[in-house]
């Protein structure tokens, strides 16, 4: 697949070449951020066979490349330590393009559906906590946080370029930028003291399949029945449903742009899909191949609690289980949990800063190797002990210091079931050792199974003492 993907990207780059006219892809504009201390590509178009020179002011070096038979050219330049502003000068004969106010720093590509797309300004009747303050303060860091906001419509065929340019994150720009992406960028800037570039590239309502090629989906290992269900999808909604429609117009044209990693928040439109873990894992592999980096970090959010048509339904926690499996299918991918951040009446929780903070902590800990003093590993069920008096003792892995709830030792979100497999809400509290949850229910005198947060919405509140939510878990393997 790697060879075919490389050929496809090279072909689409060549599609828009205009003989005799020097061009550079729109992703390389004034105010761009180049990934620091790396080798990154710069590409565009010129007259076929002509020599193109790319000179970067941070090191004074000139890279020379020839435009191919279709007029496409691609230069690989070396970047240095964080800083700027710099210039990039591109020449071909008498033609010249100069990119100004270029910064070297950290670049992240942020994708997904509406929870990633939701801007600081919010959606209709749905706000983002802390947005007003963030927008008012945006000017303070505007020159150090830059945004490339891609809004290409769906594309049935690959295109060669995006109609977007880099902008300083002034209040007016920040207000309409992904809240998660912006909060992440601001925290990263403050943590590393380097410029940050965010490629904001989310599409509300989109399924995962439009972010992938048909070839990648076929290579994902899903069953023939799962593939048939994907093939039967109809793209009859305002948001893309079928394969390739987003990849063609929003990802392929920027594939390879120098970046540190990906942020991903998607899943609501695929809820109930049992093969989602295989699709997500293959999507990550595909993106990494397109970027030429097999270890490119991928940080993603688990689906937040919401009624999803029936608050007592269980399809959401089952789907979160599937999402969590994807973390183990490809290396350098990490999940963050949103279990205490959901909302019964809206699929768009207001606490975007908290999601961004957890993604940032993941990045600092797992990508940048910084000791934050905060363990981001998600707790998993370790042992369950059933007492003769009906008391259940639950212990988890990766709890860092101690367990706690949002307001007290009392924990919301536990259920117990007996041999009849009927679950009842249970009383639960964190034991004084801070390591064990004690669960009991008068309606289940002889429990054989315990679950936590295993409904679409429960108001579950268990977390590690550092504030990291505990994801849904269960001791049984029953289908419902």
Domain end call among 62, 86, 103: 103
Q: Identify whether 373 is part of a domain.
A: no
Using 50, 70 and 90 to split pLDDT, how confident is the model at 3?
very low
- pLDDT tens sequence across 360-399: 999 999 999 999 988 889 999 999 999 999 999 999 988 8
Helix (H, G, I), strand (E, B) or coil at 97: strand
CA dist., res. 197 & res. 106, Å (int): 6
Same domain, 210 and 312: yes
Q: What is the mean pLDDT of residues 332-345?
A: 96
Same domain, 345 and 218: yes
Same domain, 193 and 337: yes
DSSP states of 339-351 as a string?
A: TTS--SS-SS-S-
Q: Identify whether 372 is part of a domain.
A: no
CA dist., res. 419 & res. 442, Å (int): 15
Q: Identify whether 374 is part of a domain.
A: no
pLDDT at 419: 97
Of 364, 361, 380, 369, residue with least CA distance to 320: 380
The Cβ-side half-sphere exposure at 427, using a 13 Å CA radius, reads: 8
- pLDDT tens sequence across 272-331: 999 999 999 999 999 999 999 999 999 999 999 999 999 999 999 999 999 999 999 999
Domain end call among 37, 68, 103: 103
CA dist., res. 476 & res. 371, Å (int): 36
- Positive or negative, the CA dihedral 387, 393, 394, 398 is negative
Q: What is the mean pLDDT of residues 126-150?
A: 97
3-state secondary structure 127-192: CCCCHHHHHHHHHHHCCCEEEEECCCCCCCCCCCCCCCCEEECCHHHHCCCEHHHHHHHHHHHHHH
Q: Identify whether 479 is part of a domain.
A: no
CA angle at residue 187 from 186 to 190, to 5 degrees? 90
Same domain, 390 and 427: yes
Q: Identify whether 230 is part of a domain.
A: yes
Domain that includes residue 135, residue range:
105-367
Q: Identify whether 480 is part of a domain.
A: no
Q: What is the mean pLDDT of residues 49-77?
A: 97
Same domain, 340 and 397: no
Of 400, 392, 386, residue with least CA distance to 463: 400
CA dist., res. 418 & res. 450, Å (int): 9
Same domain, 322 and 459: no
Same domain, 18 and 113: no
Same domain, 290 and 340: yes
Q: Identify whether 15 is part of a domain.
A: yes
Structural contact between residues 475 and 450, judged by C-beta atoms closer than 8 angstroms: yes
Number of domains in the chain: 3
Same domain, 149 and 7: no
Residues of the chain with pLDDT > 90: what percent? 89
26: CATH:
2.60.40.10
User: Can you tell me which residue has the tokens 């490629």?
Assistant: 199
- pLDDT tens sequence across 204-242: 999 999 999 999 999 999 999 999 999 999 999 999 999
User: Can you tell me which residue has the tokens 């008498």?
Assistant: 94
Domain end call among 367, 398, 420: 367
- pLDDT tens sequence across 70-100: 999 999 999 999 999 999 999 999 999 999 9
CA angle at residue 111 from 115 to 187, to 5 degrees? 75
Taking the model in full, what pTM does it have? Answer: 0.94
| Helix (H) / strand (E) containing 323 | helix 315-326
Q: What is the mean pLDDT of residues 18-23?
A: 72
- pLDDT tens sequence across 319-334: 999 999 999 999 999 9
DSSP states of 392-406 as a string?
A: EEEEES---S-EEES
The values of phi and psi at residue 152, to 5°, are -60, 135
CA dist., res. 152 & res. 164, Å (int): 9
pLDDT at 410: 86
Structural contact between residues 395 and 435, judged by C-beta atoms closer than 8 angstroms: yes
CA dist., res. 33 & res. 36, Å (int): 9
Same domain, 61 and 35: yes
Same domain, 135 and 248: yes
318: CATH:
3.40.50.1110
Q: What is the mean pLDDT of residues 175-194?
A: 98
Q: Identify whether 148 is part of a domain.
A: yes
Same domain, 48 and 141: no
pLDDT at 406: 56
């Amino acid at each position: 697949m790697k060879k075919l993907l490389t050929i496809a990207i090279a072909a689409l780059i060549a599609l828009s070449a205009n003989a005799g006219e020097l061009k550079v892809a729109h992703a390389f504009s004034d105010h761009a951020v180049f990934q620091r201390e790396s080798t990154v590509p710069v590409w565009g178009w010129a007259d076929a066979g002509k020599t193109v020179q790319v000179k970067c002011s941070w090191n004074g070096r000139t890279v020379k490349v020839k435009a191919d038979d279709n007029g496409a050219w691609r230069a690989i330049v070396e970047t240095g330590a964080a800083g700027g502003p710099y210039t990039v000068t591109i020449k071909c004969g008498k033609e010249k393009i100069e990119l100004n106010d270029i910064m070297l720093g950290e670049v992240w590509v942020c994708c997904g559906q509406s929870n990633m797309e939701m801007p600081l300004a919010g959606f209709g009747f749905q706000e983002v906590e802390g947005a007003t303050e963030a927008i008012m303060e945006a000017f303070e860091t505007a020159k150090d946080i830059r945004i490339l906001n891609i809004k290409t419509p769906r594309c049935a065929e690959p295109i060669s370029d995006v109609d977007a340019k880099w902008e300083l994150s002034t209040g007016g720009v920040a207000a309409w930028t992904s809240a998660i992406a912006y909060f992440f960028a601001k925290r990263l800037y403050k943590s590393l003291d380097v410029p940050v570039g965010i490629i904001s590239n989310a599409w509300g309502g989109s399924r995962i399949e439009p972010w992938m090629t048909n070839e990648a989906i076929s290579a994902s290992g899903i069953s023939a029945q799962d593939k048939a269900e994907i093939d039967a999808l109809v793209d009859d909604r305002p948001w893309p449903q079928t394969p390739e429609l987003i990849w063609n117009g929003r990802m392929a044209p920027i594939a390879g742009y120098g970046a540190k990693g990906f942020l991903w928040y998607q899943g609501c439109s695929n809820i109930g899909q049992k093969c989602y873990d295989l699709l997500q894992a293959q999507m990550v592999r595909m993106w990494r191949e397109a970027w030429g980096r097999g270890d490119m970090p991928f940080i993603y959010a688990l689906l937040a609690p919401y009624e999803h048509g029936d608050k007592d339904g269980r399809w959401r926690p089952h789907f979160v289980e599937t999402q969590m499996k994807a973390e183990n299918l490809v290396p350098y991918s990490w999940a963050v949990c949103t279990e205490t951040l959901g909302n019964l009446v809206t699929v768009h929780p207001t606490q975007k800063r908290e999601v961004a903070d957890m993604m940032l902590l993941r990045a600092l800990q797992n990508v940048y190797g910084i000791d934050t003093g905060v363990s981001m590993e998600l707790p998993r069920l370790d042992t369950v002990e059933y007492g003769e008096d009906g008391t259940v003792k639950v212990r988890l892995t990766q709890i860092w210091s101690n367990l706690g709830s949002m307001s007290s030792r009392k924990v919301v979100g536990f259920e117990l079931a007996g041999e009849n497999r009927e679950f009842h809400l249970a009383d639960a509290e964190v034991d004084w050792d801070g390591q064990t949850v004690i669960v009991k229910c008068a309606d289940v005198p002889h429990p054989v199974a315990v679950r936590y947060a295993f409904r679409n919405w429960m108001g579950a509140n268990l977390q590690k003492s550092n504030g990291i939510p505990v994801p849904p878990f269960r001791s049984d393997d029953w289908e419902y």
